[in-house]
Structure 1
Amino acid sequence: MAEGEARRIYLTTPIYYVNDRPHIGHAYTSLATDVLARWHRLDGHEVFFLTGTDEHGQKVEKAARDAGMDPQAFTDQVSEHFRELARRMNFSNDDFIRTTEERHRRACTALWEELARRGEIYLGHYEGWYAVRDEAFYGPDEITERDGQRFAPSGAPVEWVREPSYFFRLSAWRERLLQFYEDNPDFILPPGRRNEVISFVRAGLQDLSISRTSFRWGVPVPGDPAHVMYVWLDALTNYITAVGYPDTGAPRWRFWPADVHFVGKDILRFHAIYWPAFLMAAGIAPPRRVFAHGWWTNEGQKISKSLGNVIDPLALIGTYGLDPVRYFLLREVPFGQDGDFSRRALIARLNNELANDLGNLAQRTLSLIQRNCDARLPQRAPPTESDRELLDAAAALPGRLRALFDRQAFHEALEQVWSVVRLGNAWIDREKPWALRRTDPARMAAVLRSLHDAMRVIATVLQPFMPDTMSRMLDQLGVPPGERTLAALRTPLPGGIALPPPTPLFQKIQDAPL
């Protein structure tokens, strides 16, 4: 996206299933969405960021029964855990949708009726291998058998089910989906996931069962309340519910189609095959992109409740601090790939990159200005060739990051920023402003001003990743709250403004639990 091209941006997390408490995977997906939303706001775009909870289906009905609770009371309780995660992780979502809301029931009903009106739905019966855990049917070629039990590709146990069902004519969409993927090569990212989806569709699609009669906890099928809607038709509709569907004249409808649906790789098929087919069949534009990220392991082990190694994101931020955890999760692993969570790695990133590299550069520079420039920002001077090395590298960051954010390359964006942080540390050691105080005070002031200008850019572009800490850094740099956007970087701060005494931005972890 070019600089100055302001537009509307719609970003979503998946809606999280309320049969359990939030874990690191939920925090990771929402964090990526939050960082991208914050970046686009920083770049002058109008952003709508949606998250929420998926509250219908057989799994939720069973979890509520096991807990001895009414399904609505159960979902009210568990949904609140996800709201708390959003608050504690400082996510900037504009809405939080629940599929038990009346607005969502209206949207699901309207979408069903439109699909039926267009002849995309018919009544039949379904029999096949069904996984309750995945809320999905699987073909015979996808089933494996161990110890007399059959399993889906996800590892979930399956059972043979036969019941009346309404069907969506998915098989008719094979060629149109393949053409859509060809016409929109960036619809699925990363590219490896795109190849998986195309291979699956090319192998042929079967009509999709979109209703159930074996449980009641769901949206009733219009005109046939013995059926409830298949949880994925229900759940996926949330993305258009939140922008006003079926009222396409609603103020929020201007955000559709969504720019990026962030999902885990385990639910890519539903978002990249079923969802665009549902939408196109109803005459609605499909989203622009589905980005499927990888999974985390914990110290080399698969994360599971049975192993007792589920990572609680709230416990993490309680130990290491919110912004270091936000930084680590998007710094450690290229977004889209699987990664291993290691507390040693988190501590190393915090101590070395945050405290030593960035924190130390800010503290040294601002302390020198306090002591040697009467705690006031030095005036700008004509830059030397040496100054330009640092200033040009910093000035290039917004453009470079803009291109990386446009393809959700968060890890690469942070590496670009850290290349300038490392340059700043090498540059201050080379220029030695502390030694220039007696020999060339004018040059000392120019060096400190160049460092300050570079750090202003660094702090500005890092706001999406570490909003609280970068707010404090910008405070210490004397940047007014209204001048912390990418566009504001084009206007230098006036020399002579008073700067507050600097305080450390990050606390090193000396002896933390591993």
Structure 2
Amino acid sequence: MAHDENAAPAGAQSFYLTTPIFYVNDAPHIGHAYTTVAADVLTRWHRQRQEDVWFLTGTDEHGQKVMRTAEAHGVTPQEWADRLVESAWEPVLTTLDARNDDFIRTTQPRHTERVRSFIQKLYDDGEIYAGSYEGPYCVGCEEYKLPGDLVDGTGDLEGSKLCPVHGRPVEMLSEQNYFFRMSAYADRLLALYEEHPEFVQPASARNEVVGFVKQGLQDLSISRSTFDWGIPIPWDSSHVLYVWFDALLNYMTAVGQGSADPADAEKFARTWPADVHLVGKDILRFHAVIWPAMLMAAGLPLPRTVFAHGWLLVGGEKMSKSKLTGIAPSQIIDHFGSDAFRYYFMRAIPFGQDGSFSWEDLSARYNAELANGFGNLASRVAAMIGKNFGGALPAPGSPTDAEEALQAVATKAVADAEDAIDRIAPHEAINAIWTLVDATNMYLTEQEPWKVAKLPGETAGGAGVEGGRLATILVTAAEALRVLAVLLNPVVPKAATGLWTLLGAEAAVGPLDAQDVRTVAPFGQLPAGTTVTKGDALFPRLEDPEEIPGAPTTA
């Protein structure tokens, strides 16, 4: 890239993606799971390209919000964080079938020690100074608000100024703090957004950030002295570091920045800068304004992209534990399974926009697209190979225009899905993949292999004939399924693994994870004689969710 601060280390081959680190004030809901699944799908896709991938997630455990939650439960903040991480935040990764490489906690010494080193250097370089601040503060956001950010309360809250995100009255705080000279970086930030529009995505998010910075930046209060749950300021232990200044640094501390260990230094050089920070749009400014300013001040490379996705809505409002609108991922996954959860949220909501969760829509898509569209396709092909060729993939005959057309759909599906992933548009990638599902179903409908099997010369002694038309049709359909297994492995890994097993592909062409998505499209990779088995349904039919006790209501 032309911009030095965005230059990757020489020889870097890695793909590094992060989720936000999540507050431990409560258990995860499907809004948190949405971000995590998106991160997992994107990183699994890059793994399918055989890239060196690092996927980081974790928990943000300091700050006033966590401290107050712990106090309300009669435990220390550390005890509360330990309890929530062990009982909820780490287990949900397994529930979602997420394949993260690391889990960072901001109370870990590897983080706290490196953070103290980072801010000490900024202080020594004159980027931090002492001052005082008074203003409206939202504990939920852990952020001082500008007067223009607030909304007027109504009803019982009439006369109060509310945080627009949490809908709660802000608190007026006045304290002596240390400040980061963020205002000095306004022009450099605007130049960054201008020269590197990919730095903030989607375009609507970038426009918001540019408008915000053009209004002028204030210096940032980065310490608190009214409570003690945080990382102590190295030069003044009566202050703890502002939770966001602490939390943002996790993206670097987790991959070795600030460590004296040569192995950590090597990992940091290989991994940083991050390729993608996935964030919810409510925390966009922290990541697109404060974070790059911090890195500029420290003389460190900037991440390549901050991508702000939309909110999951319930009844038209952002999903929130504080408003009792949170739905636990297990409420959905216990019935539909993790694959269906992952598929639904990645396909039904255009990534970057808000979207409402609907139990009925999920049920309809499960049945129409996963059970009938994809799962039934796999079962039909396996059953016909079993019936006509004893479960051994036959040698095909010469392809016709119909086979060439399906091959063209597969080639285009791979190219379009690849392009969508690079644009961080997983919904478009799945749409592209589904063109091959639909085309293969249509191919079978039009070619009618069940009728071809009854034609003269297609069977001998009750078995299909090698090299015949029936063999060509079934081999072509099996090849389409092979392509689909690879393309869908990042999205529905359990079903994709089941399909790979059904096709006998492990013995024929190797492990599913080892298939390079970029070379998967050409048909003819499954050798004749490959054992195909019907196996269990990839997406079994499920009972009507309206009959399930405790099912979430329509959003």
Task: Report the counterpart of residue 252 of structure 1 in structure 2.
Answer: 267
Task: Report the counterpart of residue 91 of structure 1 in structure 2.
Answer: 98
Deviations 1:14-42 (A, max 9, x none): 00000111101110000000001100000
In the alignment, structure 1 residue 36 sits paired with structure 2 residue 48? no
In the alignment, structure 1 residue 471 sits paired with structure 2 residue 504? no
In the alignment, structure 1 residue 149 sits paired with structure 2 residue 160? yes
Rounded to whole Å, the distance in 2 between the matches of 1:326 and 1:403 is 20
Task: Report the counterpart of residue 340 of structure 1 in structure 2.
Answer: 356
The one of 202, 215, 219 aligned to 2:227: 215
The one of 9, 13, 33 aligned to 1:27: 33
What is the deviation of 1:140? 2.3
In the alignment, structure 1 residue 297 sits paired with structure 2 residue 297? no
Rounded to whole Å, the distance in 1 between the matches of 2:442 and 2:12 is 36
Deviations 1:153-198 (A, max 9, x none): 3234212211111101111111000001111111111110110000
The one of 131, 135, 158 aligned to 1:128: 135
TM-score by length of 1: 0.96
What is the deviation of 1:299? 5.5
Task: Report the counterpart of residue 76 of structure 2 in structure 1.
Answer: 70
Rounded to whole Å, the distance in 1 between the matches of 2:54 and 2:454 is 54
What is the deviation of 1:116? 1.5
3-state DSSP class of the match of 2:390? coil
TM-score by length of 2: 0.89
**One-letter amino acid of the counterpart of residue 116, structure 1:** Y
The one of 270, 278, 290 aligned to 1:274: 290
In the alignment, structure 1 residue 182 sits paired with structure 2 residue 194? yes
The one of 90, 96, 114 aligned to 2:121: 114
Rounded to whole Å, the distance in 2 between the matches of 1:306 and 1:137 is 19
**One-letter amino acid of the counterpart of residue 534, structure 2:** P
In the alignment, structure 1 residue 482 sits paired with structure 2 residue 508? no
Rounded to whole Å, the distance in 2 between the matches of 1:277 and 1:94 is 27
Task: Report the counterpart of residue 499 of structure 1 in structure 2.
Answer: 532
Q: Higher mean Cα deviation, 489-498 or 442-451?
A: 489-498
CA contact (8 A) 2:29 2:321 kept: no
**One-letter amino acid of the counterpart of residue 135, structure 1:** E
* Residue correspondence of structure 1 range 230-379 to structure 2 within 5 A: 230-247=242-259, 249=262, 250-253=265-268, 254-298=270-314, 300=316, 302-305=318-321, 308-379=324-395
Q: Structure 2 vs 1, CA of residues 410 and 50 (structure 1 numbering), >3 Å: closer, same or farther?
A: same
Task: Report the counterpart of residue 137 of structure 1 in structure 2.
Answer: 144
3-state DSSP class of the match of 2:302? coil
Q: Structure 2 vs 1, CA of residues 151 and 501 (structure 1 numbering), >3 Å: closer, same or farther?
A: closer
* Residue correspondence of structure 1 range 420-435 to structure 2 within 5 A: 420-435=436-451
**One-letter amino acid of the counterpart of residue 162, structure 1:** S
Task: Report the counterpart of residue 482 of structure 2 in structure 1.
Answer: 456
Structure 2: which 5+ residue stretches go unaligned? 1-10, 459-467
CA contact (8 A) 1:6 1:44 kept: no
In the alignment, structure 1 residue 192 sits paired with structure 2 residue 204? yes
**One-letter amino acid of the counterpart of residue 220, structure 1:** P
Q: Higher mean Cα deviation, 396-405 or 359-368?
A: 396-405
Rounded to whole Å, the distance in 1 between the matches of 2:109 and 2:317 is 41
What is the deviation of 1:293? 0.8
Rounded to whole Å, the distance in 1 between the matches of 2:482 and 2:494 is 15
Deviations 1:380-432 (A, max 9, x none): 43321110111121133222211100111111111111111111111101101
Q: Higher mean Cα deviation, 227-236 or 497-506?
A: 497-506
What is the deviation of 1:6? 9.3
CA contact (8 A) 1:299 1:342 kept: no
What is the deviation of 1:510? 3.0
Rounded to whole Å, the distance in 2 between the matches of 1:48 and 1:381 is 44
Task: Report the counterpart of residue 391 of structure 1 in structure 2.
Answer: 407
CA contact (8 A) 2:311 2:318 kept: no
CA contact (8 A) 1:18 1:79 kept: yes
CA contact (8 A) 2:22 2:59 kept: yes
Rounded to whole Å, the distance in 2 between the matches of 1:413 and 1:487 is 14
Count of aligned pairs between the two proteins: 510
CA contact (8 A) 1:150 1:159 kept: no
Rounded to whole Å, the distance in 1 between the matches of 2:185 and 2:543 is 58
What is the deviation of 1:302? 4.9
**One-letter amino acid of the counterpart of residue 78, structure 1:** L
In the alignment, structure 1 residue 8 sits paired with structure 2 residue 31? no
Task: Report the counterpart of residue 461 of structure 2 in structure 1.
Answer: none
What is the deviation of 1:319? 1.5
Structure 1: which 5+ residue stretches go unaligned? none
What is the deviation of 1:128? 1.2
Rounded to whole Å, the distance in 2 between the matches of 1:487 and 1:190 is 26
Q: Structure 2 vs 1, CA of residues 84 and 43 (structure 1 numbering), >3 Å: closer, same or farther?
A: same
CA contact (8 A) 2:485 2:500 kept: yes
The one of 183, 187, 206 aligned to 1:171: 183
Q: Structure 2 vs 1, CA of residues 380 and 281 (structure 1 numbering), >3 Å: closer, same or farther?
A: farther
3-state DSSP class of the match of 1:19? coil
Deviations 1:336-366 (A, max 9, x none): 1111111100000100000111111111111
Q: Structure 2 vs 1, CA of residues 215 and 383 (structure 1 numbering), >3 Å: closer, same or farther?
A: same
**One-letter amino acid of the counterpart of residue 18, structure 2:** T
The one of 395, 398, 412 aligned to 2:428: 412
3-state DSSP class of the match of 2:344? helix
